[in-house]
Amino acid sequence: MRKPFLRASLWAAFIFGAVTACTKDAAEVNLAIEGATEAIVVRIEGDHSVPFDTLDIVDGHLSIELPVDSTLNTFYFLLFDTGGSLRLGIAPGDEIEGTVDATTPMTEYSLTGSPMSEQLLALYRPVLTSSRLLDSLDVFRQNRRTDSADVMLERENRHFELLQARYLAHRDEIQAVIAQDSTNLSNVFAFFQQVGQVPIFRPGSDMAVMQAYAMAILEAHPTHPLAQIFAEEVMRMANAPAQPERR
């Protein structure tokens, strides 16, 4: 199965520079979790990810206090023993309450109590829908490997139309989410989403949009490393030689 957000997660782990001295500020996290018995909590620090804790999920419940680093806006991953995962973005005083279905790698969850985490959830929902479609098409293809060439061609054309429609819907959904809260730091992750191998935002045709959001986020969070590095990455892409765009 495909793991949603994997590419964006890896990108964040390598670019998220921060001064990591911890403050006394923290966020409370209380989750009802189905399907998993253990969670590894990972925090992004500097140019690498650091395991923060490994916790047993007792009677389907996980409670933890997550410290906020000196940026006062900190991102964590929860990695479950079922292969599922979710991302949290926290600020001082956040009180996160939620439910998680971690039965499969395609984690489904809901939560409240944290603007950054709620934005991450809104950005994740289109990814989950697209990932499920891709997975279902892969399963269907594997189950029909003995079809004739004509049937295979017809099927691939039909799948292409489904994927194209889903790509456009995914793109519209993401744009609507980031427009509602344009300076939320969590929006950075939206610009590195893909459907299959096709980026949701393309440096060629979408550069003006990417530059506008990079500037808005940087103006709202001028000292935050994630905002700074995102702005620098967009500038680098804007100055890079033009590349043919994948369809």
244: pLDDT confidence band, cut at 50, 70 and 90?
low
Query: Region 185-199: what's the mean pLDDT?
Result: 93
pLDDT of residue 18: 39
Local structure of residue 147 (DSSP, 8 states) = S
Q: Using CA of residue 200, residue 201, residue 204, residue 209, what is the dihedral sign?
A: positive
CATH number of 6-110: 2.60.40.180
Strand partners, 194: 199
Model confidence over 11-36: pLDDT tens digits?
A: 444 444 333 444 458 999 999 999 99
* CA–CA distances in Å: residue 64 to residues 52, 54, 186, 232: 11, 11, 21, 34
Measured between alpha carbons, how far is 23 from 61 in angstroms, rounded to an integer?
27
Measured between alpha carbons, how far is 197 from 180 in angstroms, rounded to an integer?
27
pLDDT of residue 47: 56
> How many CB atoms neighbour CB 118 within 10 A?
20
Q: Look at residue 77 and tell me whether its pLDDT is greater than 90.
A: yes
- CB burial of residue 67 (10 Å; 0-12, 13-18, 19+): middle
- Whole-model pTM: value is 0.84
